[in-house]
C-alpha cells in the first residue's frame, strides 16, 4: 500500500489541519510514493522499537519525532540517531498529535478507560458532573491508568465536576470549569496557580494518559488491506521504591 494512501486515510479520520500551529503532525520521515508493507503503532519512537520494525514499514506515533527545527543531523544525538536508523531501514513516520487529541484520544480516555460520561467536550477538555470522594477518584486513576505515584494539588473531599486533558494540559487551567482537573506534567507553578484558584488537580502522567493512542487508532486501521501492529514504546521513567534509602 502506498504511503500517500495511508496518509489520506488518516487525514479522513482525524484531519491534520486541526493540529496546532506549533505542532508537527503529518509526514515526518518518508516519501509519499513509497510502498509500505507493514504499519506499527506507538506513542513514540525509540531504539527498542526500531529494532523490531521491519524494513519498508511505516510507524504511526502520537508524538512527532521531529519537533521544532533541526539545525543539523548529528547522528550521535536525538532525534538524528533515530532518523539515521530509519533511513537505513527505509522506515517512514507519520505523527498524529494534537489533531488526534481533539478528535479521538481525550474522549476515549475519559469515557472508555476512566468510565466517565462526557457532558461537554471542547477541543482538548472533556468534562463530567457527578459525585466523587477524593479517595474514589484516586482509586479510579490508579487502577485504570496504572499511575504508580499520585500527585494531588489542593485535595478536596467532595468533587462534583471533573475535567481531563491527556498528556500535558496544565497550561489550559484558565479554560477549565471543574472542581478537579486531571492532566499530566503538572509543574510547581501550575500547582501554585491551581491552589490560588481553588482548583484540585491530579497528575495522571503524560505517558500513562496517552499510552492508549495505538489501541484507539488500531480500530480504524482494521479496514485497510495492510497489517497494523501495536508495538508501543516504553515509559522513559523508572519508578524506584519509596523504601530505598
- Can you give the pLDDT at residue 132? 98
Predicted confidence (pLDDT) per residue in 184-204, tens digit: 999 999 999 999 999 999 999
Nearest to 60 by CA among 96, 108, 31, 8: 96
Query: Residue 132 pairs with which residues in a beta bridge?
Result: 159
Predicted confidence (pLDDT) per residue in 128-137, tens digit: 999 999 999 9
3-class SS of residue 173:
helix
- Can you give the pLDDT at residue 68? 83
- One domain, residues 105 and 36: no
Predicted confidence (pLDDT) per residue in 112-127, tens digit: 999 999 999 999 999 9
Counting the structural domains of the chain, the total is 2
- DSSP assignment string, 80-149: HHHHHHHHHHT-EEEE--HHHIIIIIHHHIIIIIT----SEEETTEEEEEEEEEHHHHHHHHHHHH--SS
Residue 158 belongs to a domain: yes
Residue 195 belongs to a domain: yes
Q: What is the pTM of this model?
A: 0.95
Q: In percent, how much of the chain has pLDDT > 90?
A: 94
- What CATH number is associated with residue 188? 3.40.1390.30
Collect all residues with Cβ–Cβ distance below 8 Å to 71 and sequence separation of at least 6.
none
Residue 244 belongs to a domain: no
Q: Which domain holds residue 90?
A: 3-98+210-230
Amino acid at each position: 500500500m502506498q504511503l500517500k494512501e495511508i496518509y489520506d486515510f488518516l487525514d479522513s479520520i482525524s484531519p491534520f489541519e486541526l493540529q496546532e500551529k506549533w505542532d508537527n503532525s503529518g509526514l515526518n520521515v518518508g516519501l509519499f510514493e513509497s510502498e509500505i508493507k507493514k504499519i506499527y503503532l506507538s506513542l513514540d519512537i525509540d531504539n527498542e522499537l526500531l529494532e523490531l520494525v521491519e524494513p519498508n514499514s511505516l510507524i504511526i506515533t502520537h508524538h512527532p519525532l521531529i519537533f521544532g527545527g533541526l539545525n543539523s543531523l548529528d547522528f550521535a544525538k536525538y532525534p538524528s540517531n533515530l532518523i539515521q536508523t530509519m533511513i537505513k531501514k527505509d522506515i517512514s513516520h507519520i505523527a498524529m498529535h494534537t489533531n488526534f487529541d481533539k478528535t479521538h484520544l481525550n474522549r476515549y480516555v475519559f469515557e472508555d478507560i476512566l468510565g466517565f460520561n462526557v457532558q461537554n467536550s471542547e477541543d482538548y477538555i472533556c468534562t463530567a458532573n457527578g459525585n466523587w470522594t477524593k479517595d474514589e477518584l484516586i482509586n479510579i486513576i490508579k487502577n485504570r491508568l496504572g499511575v504508580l505515584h499520585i500527585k494531588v494539588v489542593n485535595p478536596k473531599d467532595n468533587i462534583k465536576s471533573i475535567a481531563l486533558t491527556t498528556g500535558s494540559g496544565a497550561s489550559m487551567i484558565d479554560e477549565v470549569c471543574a472542581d478537579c482537573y486531571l492532566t499530566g506534567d503538572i509543574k510547581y507553578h501550575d500547582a501554585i496557580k491551581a491552589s490560588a484558584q481553588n482548583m484540585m488537580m491530579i497528575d495522571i502522567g503524560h505517558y500513562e494518559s496517552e499510552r492508549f493512542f495505538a489501541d484507539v487508532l488500531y480500530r480504524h486501521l482494521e479496514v485497510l488491506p495492510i497489517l497494523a501492529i501495536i508495538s508501543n514504546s516504553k515509559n522513559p521513567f523508572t519508578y524506584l521504591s519509596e523504601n530505598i534509602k
